[in-house]
Structure formats: C-alpha cells, structure tokens
C-alpha cells in the first residue's frame, strides 16, 4: 500500500512541477498528451484508493497559480479549464456521456477554434471595463486591468445600448503570426534575443509590470464566452453574435452542427487547414450550443461537462543530430540535451531537444549524425520521439554517456532505481550549488525578491554565495559597489532577505531542497512533525507512515540528515533566525475540524483567500465544488447559480461570512 501512496505522491509532485512550468514560467516541458496521461493516471489511482485523496491534489485544480506581482481577485463565476481529447474514440465517449445525461440526441454543437494564447476574464459593468483578470487558479486571478486596457481589440467602453448589462466575458490574448515575425525582426535589428513563440510571448507580455511596454507588443484579444445573470439567450452561438454587436473581437470561424459527424468534419477540416490561419491554434473546442442543456450538464470540480477540446497532435519532423550536451541539475542529475541541425517546427526554429534521461537515451540507441524525429511537446518545447532507421549514423558514432561530471569533473554514479546518472559532489559542483540557491529563493519557497538567476550566478562567481546559508551573511557594502547595483538596490535586497526570515517552517522545509520533498510533501510532513530536529531523528518506517510520504521520499529524508554537511547547513540557517518549527498559532482551533466548505462569490469584509485561511486555521477544509460531502456553502455577492442550486438540492447549509465568524466564536 505504501508503494501506491508513493506513486500517487510522485504523480502529484510531477504534475505540480509541470503546472509551475506552464502557468508560471510559460514553458512546456512535456507535450499536452503526456501531461493528460499523467493526470489520467492520477485520477485513476485516486479513485481506486480514495483513502489517499487530498484537497490539494492537482486533480482538484483548474489552472495555474497566482503571481506575487499583481493583486489577486475572485472571478464572479469560476473560470474552468477544458477537458482534452486526442482521438475520435475519446470524442465519442464524451458525446455518449452527454446523451446519457440529457436523455436525447436532438441537440446542436457549436464548434470553435482553440486559440493558443493566454486566457483572460473581463468584467463589464454599466458599459465600462471594470477589471481584467488572468485565469489564475480558476477561482482567483491576477488583476492585470491596466495592461489589458492597452490592447486595442478590448473595448474600454461599450455602445450605449449595452450600458445596463453586467457580465464577464472570457477570451484569449494572442499575437498574430505576421505581427510576431515583425516583432522578432525588430528585436534582431536591435541586437536583442528573439522570442521563442507567439504563445509564450503573449502570456509573458500581459504579466509585465510596465504597461507602456505591454502597449508596444502586438497583442490581440479573441473573445469566446459571455457569462452573466443579466443576459439571457437560448444558444451559445447567439451570445457570440451579441459579443460582436458589443464591439468585441470574435473571429468568424465557429460553426454550428447537429451531429457528432459534423463535429468530426470540422475537426478534420481545421487539422488540414490550420496552417492557413493568421494565428496559432492547438485544436478545436466543442460546446453544447443550447444554454439550458449546458446548465443541466453542469461541471465537474475542474471542467464543464458541456464542452471539450480536441487537441491536434504536435508537428513531427526529421533532422540530423549533431551532438549531445550533458546538463547538471540542482540534485546532481545529469540530463542529456540533443543539439540538432536547425529545423522549422510550428513557426519557430528548433536547434535543441530534450532527451530527459540516460535511460531514455539508451532506449533510443542514438548515434551522432542520426536523423531523428523531433516534436514540439504542446507545440512549444521540442523533444526527440524516435530515429529514422533508414538514415542512421555510423556504428563508430555511438554516443557514450560521460563518466565524469561536465561541470566539476567528479566521477558520475548510476543510483539504484534512478533513470539518470548523478554527480555526487554535492558541495563542490558549481551548477548544483547555484541550482539549490535558485530553488531556495523561488516563489513557492522563500520568495526572495532581488535574487534572480543571473544575480545568483554573479554572486556565486564573485564568492559571495556558496550555499543557501550564505544568503543571510551577504556583505551589502560590497554588493553596492558592483556595477549596476548601488546602495538602494543593496538595501532592497537586504530587506527582502530579512523578510524571508518570517517564512513558515513549511516554506523553509521545501526551500532547503530535500530530494522528493516537494511543496505538497512538505505540507504533509509539518502536519505530523513540528520541528526539523524531530524530522532529523525519524526513520524510514515512521516517515512512511505519514500520509503521501512513500518509501523513496522517506529514504531520501533519512539520507539527507545522515550527511554532516546538511546538519551543519541547517545549524547555520538556525543561527540566522530561520523558522524550523511549527508555531502553535498555525492552527487557532479545531472548531471546524471535519467540516468541508465551499466559497463562492464576492464578500464585503474579507477576501476569498482570507476566508479560506480562517477555515483552515480552525481545522476546516475548503473544496472547489459542492458535493454530498460539503457541510457549508459560504455565499457572497454574485455567487454562481450552479453552486446555489446544487447546495439546495443536496441540503447543504448556505451561510454568509458573518455566519462563518459565528461558527468559530
């Protein structure tokens, strides 16, 4: 059973890592198909072993995280993701579920293109754009209104005939291909690095702090969905036409069809013709057109049941393998990266591709000068998927994995049950040390402003940093003398570092970088272990008894504390005042213990995050959707009607924020 628990936790950590890359760093490390396979595996295991379910599992989350750079605000109606399909069989299965639920085959589909950009949610009141949010986690998004107002295709004011309406309208921020190419040409002319692709550029642009710079980017906004209690129409396609009348940019590519055959024809047509479009798509979206049927079908915790996306397979081309680079990660893992003859895939030139691990390289039996098939995972990050057997390199060109670390020349070792070779020069390997410091200061760990990747490399090379403890012993007088810094920058850095000392034990535990102890695992550990000293004394058996901590993670924790260098590091961090114990006030009471809450709407005295915090501090749990297990729905202004209806049907108590305070008083 421990192996099952460990497998579930490994999947959660892996999916959370890919979510961080995709939503926070605007990168794809694996393809959408591979990501969805991981998610399906996790869903299956959680359903088969419900005793290991967790409210924080990525199966319960809708989108990405929130940025610390912008204020977080609540969507009036949750901004769900779409479930993905990749085959005709999966599409048929979705269709059959819909028919079974609504009891008829007499309905239309509205088929639309799936724009490849960054999702946003615009809120209009009395004919004016009031705010614009990113998708965020689906319940809350970053307020980027100022940036969105610089995009000419987003109306700031609507025609007078629409002044009475209050609504949210969802859309996708994209950069047309021609505009993207012109932007990159201009950057090259100025000696700047060209952007990788339109999607990443659009996603990064709307999160810039300087709205003047955002205005210089050729951003467009394509709208695809209106949600409102004020606007009533029978069909989704009618809402699209209404959006056009309001002045929104709704491309005329949707098609209403009355059969699953018509849906498949639409999918096939655009799979063939998508390269003729002036912008990028990565599939199509199929929606049940009738609004009443949409309401009847409702939502899962993550997806609408009345809509689904069909994702096109990534473009796959052949090119020559020139050489292999071997990169060192913060844990010492050696990852092979293929250097390729440049090839144009999905609108950008690919020169490098991931091989993931030694085992993967061995499986492919690569040789130098092989012609390999390259795919852009999710049409963003390239990877090698196979070899053109008819165009193989010579036998003498077989690739030999290095025996020594390319960074520090230490001998590499293949660890048991690992797919990679490792450099075990933990303290002396430059790349490992820099990687650990970068992890420690990252947003989900100590969240230290002013210590970006380049700054950390500079400080390491100058001898200011050797390990994470050195962060708290920096000489700010010396830093102020570095070109481009000065006293103000040094003082801001000092403040950021001092503030990080207030972080919780969980943040510190995650930040010190014990292998396999990700964000979720660190949260589980602190529920059972209230200090680093107690954790250091635990054995594999006692650690494995903690929810979601498998044997592999337990052994890694024991190994970490068996190393005298790590003990010395923690003692140094303690001397600088970092928090290595769980404070008593982390939980105020157990008055809400065993109770499950759902939060919906906008509140007068508290933000949704504050209400969530109140519940958790008093022992309760927060869920994203109303179910039979829900005890209370906390309803604010503009609570979604579907949540209210479900709560009433299931007999769930509906309370407000005042009632919540009464419960804990």
- The residues, any chain, with a CB within 8 Å of residue 649's CB and separated by 6 or more, are none
**Which residues form the catalytic set?**
114
Beta bridge partners of residue 169, listed in sequence order = 122, 226
User: How many beta carbons lie within 10 A of that of residue 186, not counting itself?
Assistant: 12
DSSP annotation string for 420-467: SEEE--TTT-HHHHHHHHHHHHSTTTT--TT--HHHHHHHHHTTS-SS
Q: Is 638 left (phi over 0), alpha (psi -120 to 50) or beta?
A: left
What is the Rg, in whole angstroms, of the alpha carbon atoms belonging to the chain?
A: 26
Residue 20 DSSP code: I
Q: Smallest Cα–Cα separation from 579: which of 528, 495, 507, 498? A: 507
User: How many beta carbons lie within 10 A of that of residue 191, not counting itself?
Assistant: 6
> What distance in Å separates the CA atoms of residue 422 and residue 429, rounded to the nearest whole number?
11
C-beta of residue 377 within 8 angstroms of C-beta of residue 28: yes
DSSP annotation string for 342-355: EEEETTEEEEEEE-
- The residues, any chain, with a CB within 8 Å of residue 21's CB and separated by 6 or more, are 27, 28, 29
Contacts of 435-439 spanning 24+ positions with Cβ under 8 A = 435/328, 435/329, 435/330, 435/331, 436/330, 436/467, 436/468, 436/513, 437/465, 437/467, 437/468, 437/471, 438/330, 439/330, 439/511, 439/513
């Amino acid at each position: 059973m421990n192996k099952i628990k460990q497998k579930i936790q490994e999947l959660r950590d892996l999916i959370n890592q890919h979510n961080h890359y995709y939503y926070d760093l605007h990168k794809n490390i694996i393809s959408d198909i591979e990501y969805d396979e991981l998610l399906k595996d996790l869903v299956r295991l959680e359903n088969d072993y419900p005793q290991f379910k967790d409210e924080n599992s990525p199966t319960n989350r809708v989108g990405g995280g929130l940025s610390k750079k912008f204020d977080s605000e609540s969507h009036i109606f949750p901004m769900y993701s779409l479930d993905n399909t990749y085959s005709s069989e999966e599409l048929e299965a979705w269709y059959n579920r819909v028919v079974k639920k609504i009891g008829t085959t007499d309905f239309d589909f509205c088929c639309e293109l799936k724009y490849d950009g960054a999702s946003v949610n615009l809120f209009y009141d009395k004919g004016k754009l009031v705010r614009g949010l990113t998708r965020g986690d689906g319940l809350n998004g970053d307020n980027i209104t100022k940036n969105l107002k610089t995009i000419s295709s987003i109306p700031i004011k609507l025609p007078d005939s629409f002044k009475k309406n209050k609504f949210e309208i969802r859309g996708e921020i994209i950069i047309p291909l021609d505009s993207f190419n012109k932007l990159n040409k201009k950057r090259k002319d100025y000696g700047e690095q060209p952007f990788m692709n339109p999607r990443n550029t659009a996603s990064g642009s709307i999160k810039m702090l300087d709205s003047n710079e955002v205005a210089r980017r050729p951003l467009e906004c394509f709208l695809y969905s209106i949600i409102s209690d004020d606007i009533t129409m029978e069909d989704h396609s009618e809402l699209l036409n209404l959006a056009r009348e309001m002045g929104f940019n709704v491309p005329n590519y949707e098609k209403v069809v009355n059969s699953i055959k018509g849906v498949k024809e639409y999918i096939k047509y655009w799979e063939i013709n998508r390269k003729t479009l002036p912008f990028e798509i990565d599939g199509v979206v199929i929606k049940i057109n009738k609004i009443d049927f949409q309401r009847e079908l409702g939502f899962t915790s993550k997806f609408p049941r009345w809509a689904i996306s069909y994702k096109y397979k990534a473009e796959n081309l052949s090119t020559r393998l020139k050489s292999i680079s071997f990169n060192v990660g913060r844990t010492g893992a050696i990852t092979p990266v293929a250097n390729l003859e440049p090839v144009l895939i999905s609108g950008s030139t690919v020169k490098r591709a991931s091989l993931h691990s030694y085992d993967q390289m061995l499986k492919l039996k690569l040789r130098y000068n092989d012609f390999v098939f390259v795919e852009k995972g999710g049409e963003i990050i390239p990877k090698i998927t196979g070899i053109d057997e008819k165009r193989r390199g010579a036998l003498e060109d077989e690739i030999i994995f290095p025996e020594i670390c390319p960074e520090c020349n230490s001998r590499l070792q293949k660890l048991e049950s690992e797919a990679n070779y490792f450099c075990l020069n933990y303290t002396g390997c430059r790349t490992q040390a820099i990687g650990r410091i970068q992890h420690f200061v990252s947003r989900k760990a100590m969240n230290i402003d002013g210590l970006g990747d380049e700054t950390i490399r500079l400080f390491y090379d100058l001898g200011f940093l050797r390990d994470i403890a050195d962060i708290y012993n920096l000489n700010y007088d010396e830093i102020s003398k570095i070109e481009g810094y000065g006293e103000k920058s040094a003082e801001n850095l000092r403040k950021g570092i001092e503030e990080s000392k207030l972080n919780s034990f969980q943040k510190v535990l995650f930040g010190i970088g014990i292998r396999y102890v990700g964000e979720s695992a660190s949260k589980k550990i602190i529920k059972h272990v209230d200090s680093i000293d107690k954790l250091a004394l635990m054995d594999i058996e006692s650690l494995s008894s903690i929810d979601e901590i498998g044997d592999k993670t337990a052994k890694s924790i024991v190994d970490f504390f068996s190393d005298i260098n790590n003990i010395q590091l923690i003692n140094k961090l303690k001397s600088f005042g970092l928090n290595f114990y769980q404070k008593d006030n982390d939980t105020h009471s157990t008055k809400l213990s065993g109770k499950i809450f759902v939060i919906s709407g906008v509140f007068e005295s508290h933000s949704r995050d504050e209400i969530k915090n109140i519940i958790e501090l008093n022992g309760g749990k927060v869920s994203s959707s109303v179910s039979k297990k829900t005890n209370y729905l906390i309803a604010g202004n503009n609570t979604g009607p579907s949540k209210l209806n479900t709560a009433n049907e299931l007999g769930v108590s509906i309370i407000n924020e005042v009632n919540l305070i009464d419960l804990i008083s």
